[in-house]
Amino acid sequence: MTDPNEKIHVSAQDARAGATPHITRYILAISLILVILAFAYLFME
């Protein structure tokens, strides 16, 4: 029987069960910029 206090070592790739592409940071940055521009445009009206 295994020790319940023993740490389980799993790689980040296996723990996420998939890849994490770096395009996500670009999508978030572009979306943030677009939202800021939209609010600035609406504020100027």
Q: Domain residues of the chain, as ranges?
A: 12-44
Q: What residues have CB less than 8 Å from 13, skipping those under 6 apart?
A: 19
Q: How many degrees, rounded to 5, is the angle at CA 18 between CA 13 and CA 19?
A: 80
As a whole number of Å, the end-to-end CA separation of the chain is: 69
What's the confidence (pLDDT) of residue 40?
A: 96
What's the confidence (pLDDT) of residue 9?
A: 85
Q: What is the pLDDT of residues 12-45, one digit of tens each?
A: 777 777 666 788 889 999 999 999 999 999 999 7
